[in-house]
Amino acid sequence: MFTAVNSKVVSVNLAQSGPIVARRGAMLFYTGQVYFEPHQVPGGGGGMGGGMMGGMAGRMLSGEHEATMLAQGNGVVHYGFRGIEATVVNLGSVGGQMRVEASRLLARTADIQASIVSVASSGGQGGGGGGGLFGSLRNAAAGAMTGQGMFTTQLMGAGSVVVLGHGGIFELPVNPGGAVLVDPQAFVASAGQVNSTLKSAMSWRNVGRGGGESMQLECTGQGVVYVQASEQKM
């Protein structure tokens, strides 16, 4: 549905794709009759958690919300953002499920369901902390250290997604037999049944002798991990 114009710009024909949800301000130009209106991720932004999570969690949640706009009508829209490489992912071909940070999401077809989930729940049993309150606190601390938020956006459906990755994105398959470990700053998204847990390679023995790679996201399960060629967060 999305067509890559070059490595950094995608175009989409609304007549074929249906409405498109895109990061606000990412539209470059369009032809035809296209209407833009603000769009809210259900559970995020305005409604702020809908009672399930209030107060602090709600505010943290808002960090995982990027203002988006809905484009509909009849025409071709071009999207691009800050000259960052954009990659089109067909959700249907990667198991219909993807986890990506909202700031990395350039555009998606509106038929994809987006929800904001806790990173802890993606790891099954928290960051090795055994879940529960302690586990989630541990996750929050680790998240604060690496800039990996506590929450992430989960996309479900069969549509297409455009993901941003500084320096381009490459895919790494994750199989039950072999885990893939990713620098948290270079991690972009994961698709399929992939659990990611933050792992520390640091111990009291190698204080000051570490290789500068003390934190890694360990991705296990079955699916694909998307990694960018840079350590720059968005």
Cβ neighbors of 58 (< 8 A, separation 6 or more) are 48, 49
* Of the candidate residues 51, 55, 176, 211, the single one contacting another protein (CB under 8 A): 211
* Of the candidate residues 18, 54, 93, 213, the single one contacting another protein (CB under 8 A): 213
Backbone φ/ψ region at 201: left (φ over 0), alpha (ψ -120 to 50), beta = alpha
**Mask: binding to another protein, 69-98, rule CB under 8 A, as x and -?**
----------------x-------------
Q: Which is nearer to another protein, 33 or 232 (CB)?
A: 232
Selected range binding another protein among 53-61, 112-120, 191-199, 211-219, rule: CB under 8 A: 211-219
Encoding tokens for residue 56? 């602090």
Q: Which is nearer to another protein, 130 or 210 (CB)?
A: 210
* Of the candidate residues 16, 55, 204, 209, the single one contacting another protein (CB under 8 A): 209
Sign of CA dihedral 49, 122, 109, 113: negative
Q: Kindly state the helix (H) or strand (E) to which residue 137 belongs, with its residue range.
A: helix 132-146
The whole-angstrom distance between residue 176's C-alpha and the CA centroid of its chain comes to 22
Cβ neighbors of 226 (< 8 A, separation 6 or more) are 87, 89, 100, 163, 165, 169, 170, 171, 172, 187, 188, 189, 190, 191
Q: Which is nearer to another protein, 78 or 199 (CB)?
A: 199
Please choose, from the candidates 11, 13, 18, 43, the residue with its C-alpha nearest in 3D space to the C-alpha of residue 158.
Answer: 18
Least distance (Å) from another protein to the CB of residue 44? 28
Q: Which is nearer to another protein, 71 or 84 (CB)?
A: 84
- Asked if 103 interacts with another protein (CB under 8 A), we say no
* Of the candidate residues 15, 67, 158, 229, the single one contacting another protein (CB under 8 A): 229
Between CA 228 and CA 84 the distance in angstroms is 11
State which of positions 153-182 bind another protein (CB under 8 A): 166-168, 170, 172, 178-182
Least distance (Å) from another protein to the CB of residue 174? 9
Residues that bind another protein (CB under 8 A): 85, 166-168, 170, 172, 178-183, 186, 201, 206, 208-213, 225, 227-232
